[in-house]
Structure 1
């Protein structure tokens, strides 16, 4: 599994629909999506899934002139990081893994979204390994040098793969994705419907550097969890036994409430593309500081802050709604 900063052939996204899924914010969400898609399309091709005629008409109207290819595909929601394919690469050959998607343990509808990797494989003409185990892309970070990061609160829930242990996951991800050392943090953000995906809190920015969310307010429920994660990360090592460089990234200062309680805004849900990094912004006092931290970690990329205040109403942000396709040629077995 290539790291996110490896060269991309394209970025895949799904256009938002169903106003009720967005608690009445669909128009604002689509506006933020359009800015995100247009920004990515400045740097690389965008492959956009649209669920129906209305969605395609809306997307085409908002994205005129952008480098976007449209695909009419039945969809349930937009979180293609989790329901889409996880690409793998050997040399210049590219194929994909198709894990079972069950909407984070059966929380929402998922039947259409679970079929997206099959469509992508068919469109690209590449091999697809269909796997009966549940795995969401947002639940795993890789550094491209054999190390992966995840959370116990997500992977070890009994609504995903009951009975699959930490050791079992380590073997599985070594076999399928080339993760030779799997590192575990305990948990994620309060009221995150993914049960604490790693991509909302802690990210690799290169083989040796990890940026991790911190909460300064000791009264905030996220404070203790993030502090424990920080301490654990400082004790972790790579395949050669060397410690990582750990960089702290503040969580937004303001508590945001949505239709179902506290929202999980985070700057760690940035997306890395060809020559750029897009960082969610929330109209928060910590927005500028987050851009400063991440700009220092990506000196050769344009670090771009875009509004995600409407998108976060759905529980995720830019990394959650994107899936990178690495460069290379489609591979199929002989």
Structure 2
């Protein structure tokens, strides 16, 4: 991994106030964004992309230097942003993130094109790839190890060996594990199942209620990631309050953490297991572990990692043209 002193730019996207999909959750999303942004620690930086309808709200709370007026068409920047900050790769955002089907793919492309245009306007040039994959389905440590769900194989009509070769070519990753998602259908993202908290140190949800799945999951990870130190972490999943049944819940999933070169921004849910999760992560990483309250948004299917993308604060690479 790069020098731990090197910071990353954490990018958040504000909701559009008149978007009916988020109407009941706008206040909670903005509250979460502001609290999360205030937890970002140097050398990391945060930038909120907001429309004219919310820019002043964020600027008043965070200061104008951490907000730019640039309306994005969705809030889940992890999925449609730069997938891998080390290689600057941006894979094609999949239809599942926008509800599926042909319309979903058209909407996904439009969301991503808006974001790519913004990045390019700021001199951050993505390396475009036609491979279909959401950023939430690429969990990496920056030292050559990554985890992807098998949805990637189906989306791209590839065998595991073909998929591994394709991802190695565009990202430079050396070892890639393919896992079955713990919930089939919908997004099937790996970042609700695993999280790298250091070079070669992987956290995996425990699945006490499904030991067969846990056994296979660990076997697949060990097969794909030789030399990686694998540890389980408490799984306090709570699906009692799900905003959209297509996307499930991220409540109680500590693996949905944002990990930068120097910090782990760990979701917290206001439940007793929070302390256990913090202790586990602090024992296993030398990075600063920063708790981030996520209970106000996790029922929407994400939070700390899902709502943020990360970009290395170094000069961008030359873009490859999108076919």
TM superposition score category, shorter chain reference: 0.7 to 0.9
Cα deviation per residue 1:257-276 (whole Å; 9 max; x = unaligned)? 22335523210011123543
1:175 equivalent in structure 2? 169
Q: Specify which of 232, 238, 261 is matched with residue 248 of structure 1.
A: 232
Structure-1 residue corresponding to 2:78? 81
Q: Is the 8 A contact 1:34 1:59 kept in 2?
A: yes
More helix, by proportion: 2
User: How has the CA–CA distance of structure 1 residues 312 and 237 changed in structure 2, closer, same or farther, with 3 Å as cutoff?
Assistant: closer
Structure 1 runs of 4+ aligned residues shifted over 6 Å read: 3-6
Aligned-pair CA distance for 1:34: 0.6
CA root-mean-square deviation? 2.8
Which residue does the alignment assign to 2:134? Answer: 136
Aligned mates of 1:119, 1:285 — CA distance in 2: 41
Matches for 1:126-275 after TM superposition, within 5 Å:
126-152=124-150, 154-157=151-154, 160-161=155-156, 163-189=157-183, 193-194=186-187, 196-218=188-210, 224-238=212-226, 242=227, 244-252=228-236, 254-261=238-245, 263-265=249-251, 266-273=253-260, 275=262
- The 2-side partners of 1:105 and 1:74 are apart by 18
Q: Contact 2:7 / 2:262 at 8 angstroms: preserved in 1? A: no
Query: Which residue matches 1:316?
Result: 302
The answer to whether the 8 Å contact 1:4/1:273 transfers is no
* Structure 2 unmatched ranges of 5 or more: none
Check whether the contact 1:282–1:309 (CA below 8 A) recurs between aligned residues. Answer: yes
Task: Measure, in 2, the Cα distance between the counterparts of 1:64 and 1:88.
Answer: 26
**1:147-193 CA-partner distances (Å, limit 9, x unpaired):** 321111x2133xx33x23322221211111002332111223467x4
Q: What is the TM-score of this pair, normalised by structure 2? A: 0.83
Number of residue-to-residue matches in the alignment: 308
Relative to total residues, which structure has the larger strand share, 1 or 2?
Answer: 1
Q: Kindly indicate whether the alpha-carbon contact (under 8 Å) linking 2:239 and 2:299 is maintained by their aligned counterparts in 1.
A: no
TM-score by length of 1: 0.81
Cross-structure match for 1:92? none
1:307 is matched with 293
